[in-house]
Structure 1
Amino acid sequence: MGIPYNPAKGTICCSQFHGSPGQHCCGTEIYRPDVEICCNGHRHPKSENIHCCGVKAYNIKDPQMKCCAGTLYTLTSLHKHGGDVQCCGSTLQEPQDICCSSEEEEVIYSAKTGFSCCGHLYYNTTLWSCCAGRLRSIHEPGQGQRKMINESRVLSVNNLNKTDLCQKKRCVWECADGSWYGGRSAAFSLRPGNR
């Protein structure tokens, strides 16, 4: 239970009382949004092209600064140039590297011939196939000599047999090898009569 206070007498920022009423909070401090920006609880002077990167502020027009998911890098100190630098999550990626990402994480790998991403995993395409972010051995029974290519596509539910989908919430993908994958994190529900 909080401590009662009179808002006409001050402003509370994260349990810190300040004697000026009606102010804006930045963390535990008050700040003036007309002359400052607040970056995750840290105040910085406001000027043109200044944006937040985590708790730091930087000029987004400066080609020597790079923000990667809340981590700010100064490229000159890393002997890098803005044009050849990419982010992989919060990490800088070298031009010769590959970034594989899923909803959970981003991982950097050294590029290899015959390898591809499947979510955040980097796999050998001669041994595995990827469908809907899952790896399967191409030597599984039923895979036979089908040509494996590392892509999947989402199909409209209108083109699928509803009886086969069990009238449950599902996402269904047709894999590149002609097989099907159905996940339970679907964004649609099948009901009799739906088209």
Structure 2
Amino acid sequence: MANCKGIVAALMMCFALIENTQADVCGNAMYSPAYKTCCNGVLADKKGLSCCGTVAYDSATKTCCNGVLNHERYKWCCGTIAYSPHYKTCCSGVLHHEPGLSCCGTVLYNPAFETCCEGVLHEIRKGSCCGTVIYDRYSNTCCRGVLNHKKGPLCCGTVAYDWEYHTCCKGVLIQKREQSCCGTVAYNPFYNSCCNEVLNKKERSCCGTKSYDRAYSTCCNGVLNRTKERSCCGTIAYNSAYKQCCNGVLC
């Protein structure tokens, strides 16, 4: 029997070469795609078919939905079922026999009478959502899905606040009004300087995270030198009238 299979495979190869077609392997069998269809190791005696798992089928008359063959021709799948949205509605894999409505999770609903908030259905039309909750936006504030039971024009992270009385610095609420932020700290630039999110006393310039006065200090590649010089050699300030810099080292 093994010899017979070998002979058949050889004949298929020869036939494919004679017909100038490609020979291929389907499971343990040789075949020509010009005459048959291979579906995941299972051979069908017809060419040009589509595959649904191991089953060959005609895509002009049937539909494959997630590995399950449906004997109807539709473009849409709801889980493993083929359907038409003109007649049905699919909600997260659950098929409903009513078209043209909306989905709230797997539940079908009419938005003219209900509101869906992140998968939770409420019997209020055109309501405002804060996470899964319906709320009154005229007396409450929603900040990143957290409901605040007060009206604040702005949000600082998940907290509502009024900018006339508070300051928000990178999601941290400061209980006073300031003009600027330095990282998560509120400050008045008239009295302080912010250097790379580190608060310093008032100076004109920054060197890394430190503020300094250029009239008395020198910044060399992010390192502050408490002396006034015109030149830098690496991170060291120096007077070029007396010293030289050789490849980043004073010499």
- What is the TM-score of this pair, normalised by structure 2? 0.39
User: Which one has more relative contact order, counting CA pairs under 8 Å at least 6 apart?
Assistant: 1
Considering only CA atoms, is the larger Rg found in Structure 1 or Structure 2? 2
Q: TM-score, normalised by structure 1?
A: 0.48
